[in-house]
Amino acid sequence: MLLQNRTTPRTASAAQAFASDAEEGPLAQGREFVWTDGDFTRIKALIYKKAGISLHDGKHAMVYSRVSRRLRDTGHESFKTYLDALEQHDGPEWQEFINALTTNLTAFFREQHHFTILDELLRSQRTQAWRIWCSAASTGEEPYSIAMTATEALGTSGSFHLVNSDIDTKVLATAARGVYKSDGVKGLSTERLQRFFMRGKGDNAGLMRVKPELQKHMEFLSVNLIHELPFREPFDVVFCRNVMIYFDAMTQRQVLERIHRVMKPGGMLFVGHAENFSDARNLFVLRGKTVYERI
C-alpha cells in the first residue's frame, strides 16, 4: 500500500502542473469560454465609461452569461479578442454590448402609488398641455401605464406628450411596437384592456396591441443619461425609476443635474423605491413617497 501511494517529487510536480493547466481551461470552469478577473475588470471599465453603469464584484456570473452571447454572435473565441475588436472600432457592436449589460425589469403599473399621484396631479390642471418624460422605457409597460393614466385623468380633450427613452435600443423597439402577449397584460383591468388594446386574431392570437389613440401621444428615442440630454422644451413630469441604483454617487449627481436642467420649476420627478436623493436638496425636495419636486 505504501508503495502504491508513493509518488516521486518529479511525478508529483508533473501531476500538479497537469491539474493546473486543466483548471485554467473553460471546461474546468464549467464554462464555454475562459473567464478571468481581468476580463471582468475590463468589461466593468468599458460599461462604466459608455453607460455609467457601475458593476460590483458579485456580477461576475451575470456579466459572463450576457457578454458570452456576444462572443457567439460575433464569432470570437475569447473575451480578449472580442474586447480588443470592440475598442478598435467605433461601430454598432458598442450598442449591442450596452444592450447586453442593461437590466430591464418592468411591469404595467409597477409601484401603483406613483400612478395614483400622477392621476391626481394631472386632474388638478386638466387644461394644461403636459410634457412627460419616461427616461427608462424598457419594453414599454411603464410608458403605456403613464399614457393610460394621463388619458383617464385628462379626458379625450386633454393634451399631453410623452417622450420615452432608453439606452437599450432593442427593448425600446419593443416598446414602440406596443405588442404584448396576453399573459403579460393580465394585471390590467377589463376596462383598460377594452379601451386601450386590440386583441390579436388568426396568426396574432394570444397577442395584444396598444391602440393608435394611445400611441399618438408618444415618442420613442434612444438616450444615454450620462450624455447631455437632447431636449429643448422642459418637462412637467419625469419618471426615472430604478435607474440610479446602477450608478455610483458621482454619476447619480451628474444625471440628476441633467434631469434638473430639462424640467420646469415645480415639476415632479418619480424615482424607484430604493432610491434616495437627500444629498441633492439644492435640486429636488421630497414631496411624497419617492416623489420629488424640482426646485
Counting every residue written for the chain, the total comes to: 295
pLDDT in tens, 241-269: 999 999 999 999 999 999 999 999 999 99
User: Would you call 166 a catalytic residue per the annotation?
Assistant: yes
Q: Are residues 60 and 164 in the same domain?
A: no
- pLDDT at 29 (0 to 100): 65
In a domain, 220, yes or no: yes
With a cut of 80, say whether residue 26 has pLDDT above it: no
Higher-confidence residue of 75 and 278: namely 75
Question: What is the arithmetic mean of pLDDT over 46-75?
Answer: 97
With a cut of 70, say whether residue 8 has pLDDT above it: no
Please, are residues 130 and 150 in contact by the beta-carbon 8 Å criterion?
Answer: yes
pLDDT in tens, 83-130: 999 999 999 999 999 999 998 889 999 999 999 999 999 999 999 999
Cell numbers placing 214: 394611445
In a domain, 187, yes or no: no
Q: Are residues 224 and 285 in the same domain?
A: yes
Q: Are residues 93 and 19 in the same domain?
A: yes
pLDDT in tens, 152-188: 999 988 999 999 999 999 999 999 999 999 999 988 9
With a cut of 90, say whether residue 25 has pLDDT above it: no
Q: Are residues 164 and 289 in the same domain?
A: yes
**Identity of the amino acid at 80:** K
pLDDT in tens, 55-67: 999 999 999 999 9
Cell numbers placing 195: 379601451
In a domain, 106, yes or no: no
In a domain, 199, yes or no: no
Cα distances (angstroms) measured from residue 72 to each of 25, 65, 79: 18, 11, 11
Q: Are residues 86 and 231 in the same domain?
A: no
Please, are residues 259 and 238 in contact by the beta-carbon 8 Å criterion?
Answer: yes
Question: What is the arithmetic mean of pLDDT over 280-285?
Answer: 96
Q: Are residues 229 and 139 in the same domain?
A: yes
- pLDDT at 3 (0 to 100): 34
Q: Are residues 140 and 257 in the same domain?
A: yes
User: Would you call 123 a catalytic residue per the annotation?
Assistant: no
In a domain, 251, yes or no: yes
Confidence category of residue 14, pLDDT binned at 50, 70, 90? very low
Q: Are residues 24 and 77 in the same domain?
A: yes
Q: Are residues 24 and 162 in the same domain?
A: no
Cα angle, residue 17 at apex, residues 13 and 20 outer, rounded to 5°: 140
User: What are the beta bridge partners of residue 128?
Assistant: none
Which domain CATH number covers 122? Answer: 3.40.50.150
* In the chain, % of residues over pLDDT 90: 86
Active-site residue identified among 42, 66, 110, 253: 66
Q: Are residues 223 and 154 in the same domain?
A: yes
Q: Are residues 41 and 130 in the same domain?
A: no
Can you give the residue range of the structural domain that contains 83?
A: 2-101
Cell numbers placing 26: 473553460
Which domain CATH number covers 18? Answer: 1.10.155.10
Task: Count other Cβ atoms within 10 Å, centred on residue 249.
Answer: 10
Q: Which of 101, 133, 167 is the last residue before a domain boundary?
A: 101
pLDDT in tens, 235-247: 999 999 999 999 9
Question: In total, how many domains does the chain have?
Answer: 2
Task: Count other Cβ atoms within 10 Å, centred on residue 218.
Answer: 23
Q: Are residues 277 and 168 in the same domain?
A: yes
- pLDDT at 21 (0 to 100): 38
Cell numbers placing 252: 447619480
Active-site residue identified among 39, 70, 131, 166: 166
In a domain, 158, yes or no: yes
Q: What sign results for the dihedral spanned by CA atoms 55, 56, 62, 64? A: positive
